[in-house]
Structure 1
Amino acid sequence: MAGAGGRAEVSRYLVVGAGLAGAATAWRLAERGCEVTVVERAVPAAPDGSSHGSARVLRYAYAERADVEMVVRAAAGFRELERRTGTALLRTTGALDHGPGRDPRALARAVAAAGVEHELLSAAAARARWPQVVADGEVLFHPGGAVLDAEGTVRAMLDLARAAGARVLTGWALERLQRTGTGFTARSRTGDVVDAERVVVCAGGWLPDLLGGLPLPPGFLAAFPPLEVTQENAFHFPCREEHPHEGWPTVAHGGPGATVYALPGGRDAQHRGLKVAEHHGGRPIGAASARTGAVDAENRARVTEHVRRWMPGLVPEPYAETTCLYTTTPDEAFVLDGADGLTVVSACSGHGAKFAPLLGELAADVATGAGAAPERFRVGGARGGGAGNG
């Protein structure tokens, strides 16, 4: 029954959130023949969330072979999306990793074990090939690294979900989720209602505001890892044309402080330069509802100094800047688990975009009971995973 002035929907599966994780889950569920309704508090890939924009890193360089193999599977999913929707979602650029915080030699062992093409180069060899970057010791290069279009990916996945019968409701902010005799009743802030047998919550930075009110077993909630939402900053720097090079790869530099990542910018920065940011360089805000969108001046100064020192191919004066959200667990591993018909897919810990098509598969397995997520993503499981960026 709908609330006052609201409308009622009935669906077997309800997906809360239409960012990368939610859109991927809806796509995979719908194509398995499941009846799916997606509710989104604003619009898909909303600009105040974690899935907006056109430039994120797809890299294979993780310290654990299992993570590398997950990227391989996810990349196949992106190619499937491109093929089926006729949309260009990946720009292959290659990827560089350098600096003691990245440990290129250890990364090389992991990508080699997974069969990913790569090279381990000396600093001098890397500088000769990419004069726009000052190499900090050995450098790992893998040519399959790419820039992915996050917003375009969300739209492509939702297009395929709709084509398979899914419904997508926008401007639908979850107020309350209750168990019923047949499943769940979800109520929006405006009184709209969706009744569903099973629910998948992909709320990103809004999860801290929702988690305690979800009808999950007390033991599950007690074991849920703490979530930290941070407002991150990203800056776009123009290229110096006088520095000839083969083209810009993505770059991850692990220095004595934070890891700084850089990647060719997308349409939201006029494709003019590189997007550069500190990984986990933002300030804690508690939940997405506290996001201000104000760029941190100290963070801007640190990133600009990094560009001046390590990226001579860029002009160290940002021409554009923005903020985004990370929702992070203490070990930076994802959460993908559930109980009694309610699945939670969060947090993506600042490096989930590259895994989106695969996360949808895993979430669909958990929600339908067809399979379980990897143990390290389960609440109370043997958690742990590679730290990532972008």
Structure 2
Amino acid sequence: MTDTIVIGAGLAGAAAAWHLAQRGHHVTVLERTTPANEHGSSHGSARIFRYAYPEQTYTDLVVRSKAGWDELQRVSGTQLIRPTGALDHGNIRDPAGLAAVLEAAGVEHELLSAEAAKQRWPQFRFETDVLWHPGAGVLDAGGTVDALLAAASATGMLELRTSWPVARVERTGSGYRVHSADGSTLDADSIVVAAGGWLPSLLGELSLPTAFLDQFPKLEVRQEQAYHFPYLDDADSGRDAAPWPTFISKSRQLQTYGLPGGRDADWRGQKVAQFNGGKIIDSALAQDGIVDAANRRALIAYAEKFLPGVRPEPFAETTCLFTTTPSEDFVIDRVDNLVVLSACSGHGGKFAPLLGELAADLLTGAGTVPDEFRIAATTGAAA
């Protein structure tokens, strides 16, 4: 019997498998389709890696996570984060407040006026002060999942089962029995559930205590959409071109983010999206992949006004899943020998190596997680 089952082969699940396998656990990863598939939250090659958060806790965790990224890139021999730097601006983004947090964390940064920022980055238009931190970049989500699973496999302690959709988890006298949708079963001593956008439909099937479930934050799943705008200057495109910075722009009218397109966009243009701009769905099972026309018009209008360095005509568009809690905090908690690991994909990607470490620590008793991520501590259900 395998020691530990990890449900889900996205960024969080693959990272948990890596850390557990490194510690000598026989790990079986169960994935409903294939790792980092296009129906989940970890597909594609372009996600923002950044340090700027209004909360000191998260910035400090990014600093800690970067050490995990460095180790993963070393063992995989692959560059998984492409350095770009990041720009933060907008009348509700509070660049000065973000600068204070980065200062406390010892992260390199610079606060500029809108005019000074325009001189340095004429491809953008700014209406407020701008925070620049050069340590940010673009992470390759799909490539990272592959690297994590390869590193776990290299230990000899990993088994990956694809096309294995989990239907429910049953408590047994010695551990757990996981049931698939087709009637197959697999037993283990412990479980890590990293099901992403499928968690809302699976949560009630995990044999968790009622007190724990009653306190579990409501998970909101959105089908978000993103658009790739071509650069006016073709010299800005290509794998070897100097990349544009990533950006987060938050105003009272619209909250957007953008980053250079990655491998799946042929290293072309800027990928731009609205934060929480997609429709709410019951779970990942309800996604239809249809881009909302009104959202497309809103992002084209944004590009026309604030991105003078692009042609405001998307050459590609896509949908993806964001799974968030009301507080936008992660959920990482344990009941007996089952850990629920919900990274909340709106901003969880940059923490991938650390999330796996936190889940492994919690499951093995080697460490704990920040109180903000715990449920059982307040319900009395903790192991």
Contact 1:338 1:344 (8 Å CA) reproduced: yes
Task: Please give the alpha-carbon distance, in whole angstroms, between the structure 2 residues aligned to 1:378 and 1:258.
Answer: 31
Pair 1:376-2:372 in alignment: yes
Residue in structure 2 matched with residue 388 of structure 1 by the alignment: none
Residue in structure 2 matched with residue 7 of structure 1 by the alignment: none
Residue in structure 1 matched with residue 145 of structure 2 by the alignment: 154
Q: Which moved more, 1:243-252 or 1:155-164?
A: 243-252
Task: Evaluate the alpha carbon distance shift between residue 298 and residue 381 of structure 1 in structure 2; reply closer, same or farther with a 3 A threshold.
Answer: farther
> Equivalent of 2:328, from 332, 343, 346?
332
Deviation at 1:380, TM superposition (A): 5.9
Letter in 2 for 1:229: V
CA deviations on 1:69-100 (whole Å, 9 max, x unpaired) are 11111122112111111111110000000011
Deviation at 1:267, TM superposition (A): 1.2
Deviation at 1:347, TM superposition (A): 4.3
Residue in structure 2 matched with residue 197 of structure 1 by the alignment: 189
Task: Please give the alpha-carbon distance, in whole angstroms, between the structure 2 residues aligned to 1:330 and 1:247.
Answer: 34
What pairs up with 1:359-374 in 2 under 5 angstroms? 359-374=355-370
Contact 1:101 1:259 (8 Å CA) reproduced: no
Secondary structure (helix, strand or coil) at the match of 1:332 reads coil
Task: Please give the alpha-carbon distance, in whole angstroms, between the structure 2 residues aligned to 1:241 and 1:120.
Answer: 27
Residue in structure 2 matched with residue 298 of structure 1 by the alignment: 294
Secondary structure (helix, strand or coil) at the match of 2:218 reads coil
Pair 1:26-2:17 in alignment: yes
Pair 1:126-2:117 in alignment: yes
Contact 1:334 1:349 (8 Å CA) reproduced: no
Residue in structure 1 matched with residue 223 of structure 2 by the alignment: 231
Contact 2:85 2:133 (8 Å CA) reproduced: yes
Unaligned 5+ segments in structure 2 are 379-383
Contact 1:133 1:311 (8 Å CA) reproduced: yes
Pair 1:354-2:350 in alignment: yes
TM-score, normalised relative to structure 2: 0.95
Task: Please give the alpha-carbon distance, in whole angstroms, between the structure 2 residues aligned to 1:295 and 1:349.
Answer: 19
Residue in structure 2 matched with residue 92 of structure 1 by the alignment: 83
Residue in structure 2 matched with residue 171 of structure 1 by the alignment: 163
Secondary structure (helix, strand or coil) at the match of 1:177 reads strand
Deviation at 1:118, TM superposition (A): 0.3
Letter in 2 for 1:227: L
What pairs up with 1:212-223 in 2 under 5 angstroms? 212-223=204-215
Equivalent pairs, count: 373
Task: Please give the alpha-carbon distance, in whole angstroms, between the structure 2 residues aligned to 1:198 and 1:358.
Answer: 20
Letter in 2 for 1:120: L
CA deviations on 1:134-183 (whole Å, 9 max, x unpaired) are 01210000000100000000000000111111111100000121000000
Contact 2:334 2:376 (8 Å CA) reproduced: no
Secondary structure (helix, strand or coil) at the match of 1:96 reads strand
Task: Please give the alpha-carbon distance, in whole angstroms, between the structure 2 residues aligned to 1:362 and 1:206.
Answer: 21
Task: Evaluate the alpha carbon distance shift between residue 331 and residue 243 of structure 1 in structure 2; reply closer, same or farther with a 3 A threshold.
Answer: same
Contact 1:235 1:275 (8 Å CA) reproduced: yes
Unaligned 5+ segments in structure 1 are 1-9, 383-390
Contact 2:243 2:260 (8 Å CA) reproduced: no
Runs of 4+ aligned structure 1 residues displaced above 4 Å come to 242-247
Residue in structure 2 matched with residue 277 of structure 1 by the alignment: 273
RMSD: 1.5
Pair 1:181-2:173 in alignment: yes
